[in-house]
Structure 1
Amino acid sequence: MSTETMEARIDRLESIEEIRQLAGKYALSLDMRDLDAHVGLFAPDIRVGREKTGRAHLKAWVDDTLRHQFTGTSHHIGQHIIEFIDADHAVGVVYSKNEHETGPEWVIMQMLYWDDYERVDGRWVFRRRLPCYWYATDLNRVPVGDMKMRWPGREPYSGTFHDLFPSWKSFWANPQQDKDLLPQVAEPAPLEQFLNRMRGDTPPPKIRVR
């Protein structure tokens, strides 16, 4: 039985819902181009690039990106896993299926975000969002084969969709065992350790800017 107090358990449930709302608010504010609402979802001292911090710098970067790369966008949020480090810090994984109008092409994308969340002045915000892309391609071109990131006017390149989790490479590197032998099965991850168990000590991948 959990040793948490009733107040702590209620706070945990309310925090989960508030964090889930962050992902939906991120998508809506981005697609509707409400940049003040958008950057307000991030920590006040959010890091932008290597040397800049703050919501004003983030707003300038998002504004430039949206004006010069996309006419319109639509972000569709999928499953969302949230695990707590402590009462005011959490991590999460969010799937996202996106559409982009970019010049003469309609680019579809599959990706996930690795998120770091923090409660600042009583509100949950993004401390960091790490976008990991699987594919991006025009609606009329299927993204089979290598180099699945295929933006108009750019050379194709590989995304980092699987790079956070070592199980992907391990699965393909190890041949299937004898079907007559049952495989070993690890114990389930402890509570709040599912993502950490899957990720292990894998460092964050380097993300190419679109």
Structure 2
Amino acid sequence: MTTLDSSPTALEELARRLTRLEDRARIQDLVAAYAIAVDDHDLETLLSLFTEDGEFERAGSIARGREEIREFYVAAMDRYSLTLHSPQSDQISVDGDRARGLLTGRAELALDGTLMMAAYRYSDEYARVDGRWLFRRRDLRFMYAVPFERMNAGLCTTERIQWPGTPHRRADFPESLPTWSTYR
């Protein structure tokens, strides 16, 4: 029979590991709450998930602070009649009251009468504020955003960002990643 080492060092290490797991779970809950708030057009909940000085970046445009983030999402919610965000995988690294994450996901979006399919990544920075994990920064990038009826042709090109009424443009990744062309 093996006995559990109950020395202060072993107990402290166990407590650190448990705290890290709890922090990761709370950050995963934050990510889920964000997706639900966006899909529900619950702007007040959405804003409460960011720090006061939080930032949101999309397509090179950065909204800084909750008021600018509000303006961004009001404009987006006015255009999207329905959204379904599905967070999929995450990598989270916690360091005290700060953390970083890379989240992948997919979305179905009804935009200007067009059903769009998208795959995205968020590069996130999180901060613990008054015991609660919040977004400090979210940087949204797309692998593709293509009308449903053009999925086949739309994914077979590097110009996979095809929002209605805009010129097609190159996808944010994976071609821009250093590993994309150096794996050989």
Is 1:44 the counterpart of 2:55? The answer is: no
Greater share of strand residues, 1 or 2? 2
Give the TM-score normalised by structure 1: 0.73
Aligned residue pairs: how many? 169
Q: Which of these residues, 64, 67, 70, is aligned with residue 75 of structure 2? A: 64
Aligned-residue RMSD, C-alpha: 2.1
Matched residue type, 1:62? Y
CA distance in 2, matches of 1:112, 1:48: 13
Alpha-carbon distance between aligned partners in 1 of 2:52 and 2:28, rounded to the nearest angstrom? 20
2:172 pairs, out of 127, 143, 160, with 160
**TM-superposition CA deviations, 1:112-160 (whole Å, max 9, x none):** 1111111112111111111110111111112211211011111000121
Q: Structure 2 counterpart of 1:64, which letter?
A: A
User: 1:51, 1:114 → 2: CA distance?
Assistant: 14
Deviations 1:151-180 (A, max 9, x none): 111100012122674211212xx4xxxxxx
Say which structure, 1 or 2, has more relative contact order (CA 8 Å, 6+ apart).
2
Question: Which of 69, 88, 92 matches 1:82?
Answer: 92
Bigger share in helix:
2
Measure the CA separation in 2 of the matches of 1:52 and 1:66: 15
Change in Cα spacing, 1:150 to 1:24, as seen in structure 2 (3 Å) is same
Secondary structure at the counterpart of residue 44 of structure 2: helix
Q: Is the 8 A contact 2:123 2:138 kept in 1?
A: yes
Query: Aligned to 1:145, what secondary structure does the other structure show?
Result: coil
**Alpha-carbon deviations, 1:18-72, whole Å to 9, x = none?**
00011111100000001010011111111367896422221122111220x2111
Query: TM-score by structure 2 length?
Result: 0.83
Unaligned runs of 5+ in 1: 175-210
Say whether residues 1:95 and 2:104 are aligned partners: yes
Aligned-partner Cα distance in 1 for 2:31–2:55: 19
Q: Distance in 1 between matches of 2:182 and 2:62?
A: 36
Match of 2:40 in 1: 32
Separation in 2, partners of 1:90, 1:78 = 19
Contact 1:137/1:150 (<8 A) preserved: yes
| CA distance in 1: counterparts of 2:128 and 2:68, whole angstroms | 21
Instruction: Note the residue ranges of structure 2 that are not aligned, 5 or more in a row.
Output: 1-8
CA–CA distance in structure 2, aligned partners of residues 103 and 52 of structure 1: 23
